[in-house]
């Protein structure tokens, strides 16, 4: 399994908007793609900004390529997300998951 990580930042005034977009539109649409195995959205307040880390889980680099295109390191950020964010990484990083332990009730149901 492969984890794809990406970061973005929103001003306090639009952080909730971005969270709703990611959890209400982006992640559900990813869930319909072959090879997608779940997603986590991490949120951290940093002064006057909010940092988000999106971690999506995939069966393989090939399934990510089907989603992201030939250059899988390119970030995919929809216009609605761009409108709510003040800045974001234009790249995503990928990690092979080599170990998973424990179960977080309700959170790990899609792994």
Which domains does the chain possess? Answer: 2-96 (3.30.70.100)
In this predicted structure, what is the pLDDT of residue 111? 42
Burial zone of 103 (CB within 10 Å; 0-12 exposed, 13-18 middle, 19+ buried): exposed
In this predicted structure, what is the pLDDT of residue 101? 81
In this predicted structure, what is the pLDDT of residue 86? 97
Share of the chain above pLDDT 90, in %: 86
Average pLDDT of 100-104? Answer: 73
- Using alpha carbons, select from 15, 92, 5 the residue that is nearest to residue 51: 15
Q: Which residue has the higher pLDDT, 28 or 104?
A: 28
Report pLDDT digits (tens) over 17-66: 999 999 999 999 998 999 999 999 999 999 999 999 999 999 999 999 99
Query: How far is Cα 81 from Cα 17, in angstroms, rounded to an integer?
Result: 8
Retrieve residue 105's tokens: 């009730």
Query: How far is Cα 24 from Cα 13, in angstroms, rounded to an integer?
Result: 18
Please give the mean pLDDT across all residues of the chain. Answer: 92
* Alpha helix positions (H), the chain: 15-21, 27-30, 61-68, 79-84
């Amino acid at each position: 399994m492969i984890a794809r990580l990406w970061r973005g930042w929103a001003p306090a005034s639009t952080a909730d908007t971005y969270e709703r977009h990611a959890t209400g539109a982006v992640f559900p649409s990813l869930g319909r793609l072959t090879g997608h195995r779940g997603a986590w959205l991490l949120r951290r307040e940093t002064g006057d900004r909010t940092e988000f880390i999106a971690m999506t889980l995939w069966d393989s680099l090939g399934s990510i390529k089907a989603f992201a295109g030939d250059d899988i390191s390119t970030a995919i950020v929809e216009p609605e997300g761009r409108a709510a964010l003040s800045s974001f990484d234009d790249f995503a990083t990928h990690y092979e998951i080599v170990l998973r332990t424990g179960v977080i009730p309700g959170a790990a149901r899609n792994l």
